[in-house]
């Protein structure tokens, strides 16, 4: 047995959660990209092929997934801006509040999109 299996306590704080969200959203967005390119590639097959896929994206499940996608994009964008602020601006204590701000702005953007598609 290794002594550090239970040493996860060093990660239990907001800045680490922000890192985890940023990393996870980035990975999920990478997984989304091939699907995105696939849809765009349908245009090469002609208008009918693209329209068929676009019609499929009107389904309620796809719309719900889109809300998740917008949340991921918003979380990754605001998280990235926060990192730039932390690393390129001189440190101020309000930068701790930025984590809450990025979460709030991401949720607002997600909610705005949800209201728009609902």
Partner 1 sequence: MADMASMLDVSVWRGADEGRFVSYPVPRRENQTVLDVVTYVQRRLDATLAYRFSCRVGMCGSCAMTVNGVARWTCRTHVGRVAKDGRLRIAPLRNMPVIKDLSVDMAGFFAKAARAKGAFRPTADRTADFAVIAPDSPRRRRADAAIECIGCGVCYASCDVVTWNPDYLGPAALNRAWTLVNDERDGGNRERLAAVAGDAGCHACHSHQSCMERCPKHLNPTESIAGLKRATVLAALTGKL
Q: How far is the CB of 75 from partner 1 (least distance, A)?
A: 16
Judged by CB under 8 A, the stretch of 29-37, 41-49, 60-68, 87-95 that binds partner 1 is 87-95
- CB-nearer residue toward partner 1: 42 or 80: 80
Does residue number 101 form part of the binding site for partner 1 (CB under 8 A)?
Answer: no
H-assigned helices in 42-59: 47-56
Segment contacting partner 1 by CB under 8 A, of 35-43, 44-52, 70-78, 81-89: 81-89
Nearer CB in complex with partner 1: 60/90? 90
Kindly write out the interface string for residues 28-67 of this chain, putting x where it contacts partner 1 by CB under 8 A and - elsewhere.
----------------------------------------
- The Cα-based distances of 84 to 5, 87, 114 in angstroms read 32, 5, 28
d(CA 67, CA 112): 9
In this structure, what token pair is assigned to residue 81? 């801006």
Q: Please return the burial class of 78, using the count of CB atoms within 10 Å of its CB with bins 0-12, 13-18 and 19+.
A: buried
What is the distance between the alpha carbons of residues 9 and 7, in angstroms, rounded to a whole number? 5
Residues that bind partner 1 (CB under 8 A): 1-4, 6-13, 15-16, 19, 83, 86-88, 90-91
């Amino acid at each position: 047995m290794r002594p550090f299996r239970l040493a996860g306590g060093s990660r239990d704080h907001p800045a680490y959660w922000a890192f985890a969200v940023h990393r996870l959203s980035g990975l999920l967005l990478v997984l989304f990209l091939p699907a995105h390119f696939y849809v765009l590639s349908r245009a090469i097959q002609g208008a009918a092929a693209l329209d068929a896929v676009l019609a499929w994206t009107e389904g309620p499940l796809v719309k719900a997934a889109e809300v998740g996608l917008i949340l991921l994009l918003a979380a990754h964008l605001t998280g990235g801006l926060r990192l730039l602020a932390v690393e390129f601006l001189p440190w101020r204590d309000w930068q701790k509040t930025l984590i809450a701000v990025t979460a709030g702005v991401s949720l607002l953007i997600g909610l705005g999109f949800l209201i728009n598609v609902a």
